[in-house]
Amino acid sequence: MFEIYQSEKTKKFHFRLKARNGEIILTGQAYKDKGGCENGVESVKKNGPKESKFEIKDSSNGKQYFVLKSGNGQIIGQSQMYKTKSGLKNGIVSVGKNSSGRVKDLT
């Protein structure tokens, strides 16, 4: 399930994709308006099932995470940090499985 929310501090819109267990598996960037955020969700729905759209990155603390990219190469969302490669791969699979979920508007 996707959740769209607005930051109280910055007033920008964000989305997060949650797995069935409620864990956040992908967090979107900040958008100036809600329409842009909704477009970001649609881009995840389109690109999330495509393994080729994921890029694995290394963080400064030695853990890995992934980003999901759109057709034009822009980053749509980012995962949490993973301790293990298997956890990271499971996270990518989970995004693919959950990217067709419904959208809950929390604004």
pLDDT in tens, the chain (107 residues): 999 999 999 999 999 999 999 999 999 999 999 999 999 999 999 999 999 999 999 998 889 999 999 989 999 999 999 999 999 999 999 999 999 989 999 99
The pLDDT value recorded for residue 62 is 87
Residues 26, 32, 38, 43, CA torsion sign? negative
Give me the residue label for tokens 């956890």: 87
Spatial separation of the C-alpha atoms in residues 13 and 59, rounded to whole Å: 25
Is-contact 65 78, C-beta < 8 A? yes
Domains in the chain, CATH or no CATH each: 2-105 (2.30.29.80)
Compute the distance between CA of residue 27 and CA of residue 53 in angstroms, rounded to an integer: 15
Residue 101: the pLDDT is 85
